[in-house]
A and B are shown apart, each in its own frame.
Chain A
């Protein structure tokens, strides 16, 4: 396992994904938060700075986009690398349990997400001070909750896209992933906002869609989860749903790496 973890880390380094992670995280987090620090809002003529809870929400929100990018790139292009085409036949004969690959890819994407988290927390502390996190229990709780739900969501996304890439190829997986993730965000927004009470009626297409949506991976709920976490509301039912979908996609991924994939490898490192 150590050899494969090392292989995976070398792969992320040599295709410069780590550089991309640090650059994207820094640009989004530090620059974004730096801008936010300069901003204020006024209420009844009084000017207030933006509070640390709202700032942390923005930090987690920005991290969600960076994390989705990392999980998508890692899942679509880097994970299938060893398992596709003629290279798949070579790696198929390594004396390694297929479950080892599941663990290795999970560990490697976790390392990338850890870098993101470090950059996010580092940027936040650098700009607002450590006390902005430590002194406010809600911010601290919201931060941990945000990291937990994001990590579960991004692991699930990574294994879902890796499975899709092995099954139908990387380019279709990219577009399906983009559409699926975007669609879930739209549905999440639609059902949370419940425009005109349409969604709350107990009949009709939107109602049926909502019933299905409740059982899908809650990618569309992530932004709202981050916000509610910072208000001290923790929705454990979504954690259960994440665990179920993560298990489903891990099993699907394990199934697809049981044999070499004959989809065309679209990426060469």
Chain B
């Protein structure tokens, strides 16, 4: 049996001594796209931080791409786009992408920067501080795709993107999975998750209340929206 891209085994996480995620078990196979859904404060971002090694679990274990989370080897095959944040503002998009290319030792692939700048329609020489929120987001996505990761983690990926770019990104994500890479998406936008993801996990108050394929959730609950409303929206 092939090893999963990431595996959370009975993981409990806390943030400043407050339990946020409890007894969570979840994994992702190669070439799959997992959408993690949940209301605000359900523990989605905390779970992602545990996968990245930013926080250590109180109990349980986490493995990512067969490595301990947070290791340099792990980051060589992984890319992450957080919900907020920007690349260093004093650089230009081209300078930033060249820096990332060098950090991932991709200097031999000289055209990758131009390809991503073209795809995400960025001005290569304008300073990042002069870019709009949407263009800054495009740049982070461009950097993530440029390194051709085996595992891509996206937190609210379409925040600030215009509709045309959303369509292009959706296609790109589907192609990315078809090539064998895996994606984890945290999102509040159910329609996007439905279109892009093959699997979903629904979190509620730090606990997993559902995991399975999107098709199975739709068949069982008559649509993803119904599934989310029933599983994550019911009173505690």
Nearest CB in chain A to that of B45: its residue: A89
**Complex Cα distance A15/B91, Å?**
11
The answer to whether B87 has its CB under 8 Å from any CB of chain A is yes
Contacts of A95 in B (CB 8 A): 72-73, 75-76, 103-104
Cβ-neighbour of A90 out of B70, B80, B89, B104 (below 8 A): B80
**Could you say which of A4, A7, A96, A268 has the most chain B C-beta atoms within 10 Å of its C-beta?**
A7
Report the count of interface residues on B (CB-CB < 8 A). Answer: 31
Contacts of A92 in B (CB 8 A): 52, 54, 70
Contacts of B49 in A (CB 8 A): 89
The answer to whether A264 has its CB under 8 Å from any CB of chain B is no
Q: Are A93 and B88 in contact (CB under 8 A)?
A: no
**Complex Cα distance A90/B140, Å?**
9
Q: Are B99 and A6 in contact (CB under 8 A)?
A: yes
Q: Are B87 and A90 in contact (CB under 8 A)?
A: yes
**Could you say which of A3, A4, A81, A86 has the most chain B C-beta atoms within 10 Å of its C-beta?**
A3
- Kindly provide the distance from the CB of B73 to the nearest chain A CB, expressed in whole angstroms: 8
Cβ-neighbour of A2 out of B82, B88, B102 (below 8 A): B102
- Kindly provide the distance from the CB of B53 to the nearest chain A CB, expressed in whole angstroms: 8
The answer to whether B78 has its CB under 8 Å from any CB of chain A is yes
The answer to whether A10 has its CB under 8 Å from any CB of chain B is yes
Q: Are A260 and B99 in contact (CB under 8 A)?
A: no
Cβ-neighbour of A269 out of B70, B88, B140 (below 8 A): B88
Convert A254-269 into 0s and 1s, putting 1 for each residue whose CB lies closer than 8 angstroms to a CB of B: 0000011000000011
Contacts of B88 in A (CB 8 A): 7, 11, 81-82, 87, 269
The answer to whether A85 has its CB under 8 Å from any CB of chain B is yes
Contacts of A87 in B (CB 8 A): 85-88
- By secondary structure, the A interface counts as helix
Q: Are B95 and A96 in contact (CB under 8 A)?
A: no
- The answer to whether residues A96 and B99 also contact, given A11-B90, A81-B88, A89-B82 and a CB cut-off of 8 A, is no
Give the total number of A-B pairs whose CB atoms are below 8 A apart.
71
Q: Are B80 and A93 in contact (CB under 8 A)?
A: yes
The answer to whether A192 has its CB under 8 Å from any CB of chain B is no
**Could you say which of A7, A95, A97 has the most chain B C-beta atoms within 10 Å of its C-beta?**
A95
- The answer to whether residues A14 and B90 also contact, given A89-B82, A93-B52 and a CB cut-off of 8 A, is yes
- The answer to whether residues A3 and B75 also contact, given A10-B91, A89-B54 and a CB cut-off of 8 A, is no
Cβ-neighbour of B103 out of A3, A89, A268, A269 (below 8 A): A3
- Kindly provide the distance from the CB of B120 to the nearest chain A CB, expressed in whole angstroms: 16
The answer to whether A94 has its CB under 8 Å from any CB of chain B is yes
Contacts of B75 in A (CB 8 A): 93-96
**Could you say which of B54, B95, B104 has the most chain A C-beta atoms within 10 Å of its C-beta?**
B54
- Kindly provide the distance from the CB of A186 to the nearest chain B CB, expressed in whole angstroms: 38
Q: Are A86 and B84 in contact (CB under 8 A)?
A: yes
**Could you say which of B87, B88, B102 has the most chain A C-beta atoms within 10 Å of its C-beta?**
B88
Q: Are A86 and B90 in contact (CB under 8 A)?
A: no
Contacts of A269 in B (CB 8 A): 88-90, 129
The answer to whether B36 has its CB under 8 Å from any CB of chain A is no
Contacts of A15 in B (CB 8 A): 90
Binding site for B on A (CB under 8 A): 2-4, 6-7, 10-11, 14-15, 81-82, 85-87, 89-90, 92-97, 259-260, 268-269
The 6 A-B pairs at the shortest CB distance, nearest first, are namely A86-B85, A3-B102, A14-B90, A95-B75, A269-B90, A95-B76
Binding site for A on B (CB under 8 A): 49, 52, 54-55, 70, 72-73, 75-76, 78-80, 82-91, 95, 98-100, 102-104, 129, 140
Contacts A2-B102, A7-B88, A95-B72 known; 5 new A-B pairs at CB < 8 A: A11-B90, A15-B90, A86-B85, A87-B86, A87-B87
Can you name 29 A-B residue pairings with CB atoms under 8 Å?
Answer: A3-B98, A4-B103, A6-B99, A7-B88, A7-B99, A14-B90, A82-B88, A86-B85, A87-B87, A89-B52, A89-B54, A89-B82, A90-B82, A90-B85, A92-B70, A93-B78, A94-B75, A94-B100, A94-B103, A95-B75, A95-B104, A97-B72, A259-B54, A259-B55, A268-B89, A268-B129, A269-B89, A269-B90, A269-B129
